[in-house]
């Protein structure tokens, strides 16, 4: 199966349809009036669909087992066709499109099985997805101009040339994948004066300033202490999102001191300096954190 361990839970929904076409009005009348020998076609088919959608991963090899938190089945009858409308919702890391189509398919097949004794020319057609929501695609922000970022790697050892930077490069790559331009990238020593000077200088030119490193518990890790006096507003929700995401994957993440806040109309972030810490922190909050720039501009809309 596709690796989804890096994703976050969001509300996801999907709606799929299937068409059952019968050959005579008498079949439709039997369905509507509950006169089919095998029983109530709509209720039996609905029940089959509800069972099926919860077990999609047992039928489709690449589907993940996911919590199904809502399903609904509706029918629309027009002439000799019965349209099945199947909706599914979950709060999880991956979507429910296949689950919705699987449910609609099984409803249609159940109807076929129940109606074949009275109608030998039933057709099933047009099984398709008509809508899906949730995941990163639903939280994609659009801006009239490209967001620019400055990325700073805070590390005495990397600054001295004793180690190679990896976390900063990961952040730059992640930003590029979300359409954010890294206008400045620099390795600096983990010193309060330098961190503060860079923050004040580059916050004027960039909408996003990211520091990686210096957020641990060592006395030499001073990035949070350097940034705290400069920030006009802390955003604890971002900090908690990073910590919570990290702790679900590595219990030591609780020891990191992530910082998030604003300076003017610039978002300032201090992320862990480890390779995995930087990667996971970006996965935890991007791209949806970019919505902050709509809020800072006074345009707090859905921004999809």
- Indicate which residues carry an active-site annotation: 113
In the chain the first and final C-alpha atoms are separated, in Å, by 29
CB 73 within 8 A of CB 67: no
86: closest CA among 61, 108, 66, 65?
Answer: 108
Peptide bond into 287 cis (omega under 30): yes
Token pair for 276: 């995995």
CB 150 within 8 A of CB 209: yes
Q: What angle do CA 293, 296, 302 make, to 5 degrees?
A: 60
Backbone region of residue 303 per phi and psi (left: phi > 0; alpha: psi in -120 to 50; beta: other values): left
């Amino acid at each position: 199966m596709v690796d989804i361990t890096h994703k976050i839970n969001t509300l996801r929904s999907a709606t799929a349809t299937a068409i059952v076409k019968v050959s005579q009005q008498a079949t439709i009348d039997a369905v509507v009036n509950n006169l089919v020998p095998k029983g109530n076609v709509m209720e039996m088919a609905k029940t089959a669909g509800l069972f099926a959608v919860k077990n999609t991963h047992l039928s489709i090899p690449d589907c993940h087992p996911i919590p199904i938190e809502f399903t609904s089945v509706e029918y629309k009858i027009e002439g000799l066709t019965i349209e099945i409308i199947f909706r599914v919702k979950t709060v999880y890391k991956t979507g429910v499109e296949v689950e919705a189509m699987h449910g609609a398919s099984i409803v249609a097949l159940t109807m076929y099985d129940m109606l074949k004794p009275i109608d030998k020319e039933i057709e099933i057609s047009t099984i398709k997805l008509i809508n899906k929501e949730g995941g990163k695609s639903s939280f994609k922000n659009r801006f009239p101009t490209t967001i620019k970022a400055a990325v700073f790697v805070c590390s005495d050892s990397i600054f001295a040339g004793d180690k190679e930077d990896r976390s900063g490069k990961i952040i730059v790559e992640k930003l590029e994948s979300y359409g954010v331009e890294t206008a400045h990238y620099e390795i600096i020593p983990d010193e309060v004066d330098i961190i503060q000077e860079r923050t004040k200088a580059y916050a004027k030119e960039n909408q996003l300033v990211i520091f990686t490193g210096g957020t641990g518990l060592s006395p030499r890790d001073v990035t949070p202490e350097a940034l705290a006096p400069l920030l006009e507003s802390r955003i604890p929700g971002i900090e908690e999102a990073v910590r919570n995401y990290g702790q679900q994957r590595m219990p030591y993440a609780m020891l990191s001191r992530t910082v998030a806040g604003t300076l003017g109309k610039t978002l300032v972030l201090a992320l862990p300096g480890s390779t995995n810490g930087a990667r996971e922190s970006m996965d935890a909050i991007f791209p949806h954190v970019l919505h902050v720039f709509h809020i800072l501009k006074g345009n707090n809309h859905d921004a999809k």
